[in-house]
Amino acid sequence: MDGTSVVYEKDLSFSKITLHVLKAGDDYSITILGGDKQHIGSSVLSVPRPSLTGDGSVSVTSSMMNMIGHKDEQICRYVAEKVCIKKNAVVLCSGGFHIDDITKEQIKEVLQAVKELVDEI
């Protein structure tokens, strides 16, 4: 997959969410897009490091940049940190998912879809 991209998609009951995953050397760049208005609302850079527990496990340090008024950090951070730990690699995740007047149930559906997509990476 090095230098190439793989697209992961999940149909929702009301929309679709897509993760574009590019392997760049040992690192990953992931773009999340979906909803009615695709955009970049957040970017999260996650860097693996030894866990502070000292048990040899991998932990992560993340830095975020968010557009004012956007709520995309939750899904970008989840994706960046989970892939970072899973692959023990630097991960940049950017993107956004927007639906006007989204309901709490729809938000739960988006979050569940993101979890399932991350499991596929």
User: 46 - beta bridge partners?
Assistant: 62, 91
First to last CA, the chain: 11
- Per residue in 3-20, pLDDT (tens digit) is 789 999 999 999 999 999
Distance, in Å, from the CA atom of 37 to the CA atom of 117, rounded to the nearest integer, reads 20
- Give the single-character DSSP code of 2: B
Side-chain half-sphere exposure of 23, counting CA atoms within 13 A: 12
- Per residue in 90-117, pLDDT (tens digit) is 999 999 999 999 999 999 999 999 999 9
Q: At what angle do helices 73-87 and 104-120 cross, to 10 degrees?
A: 20
- Per residue in 22-57, pLDDT (tens digit) is 999 999 999 999 999 889 999 999 999 988 888 888
Is 80 exceeded by the pLDDT of residue 1? no
- pTM, 2 dp: 0.91
Distance, in Å, from the CA atom of 81 to the CA atom of 76, rounded to the nearest integer, reads 8
Q: Which domains does the chain have, with CATH numbers?
A: 5-110 (3.30.230)
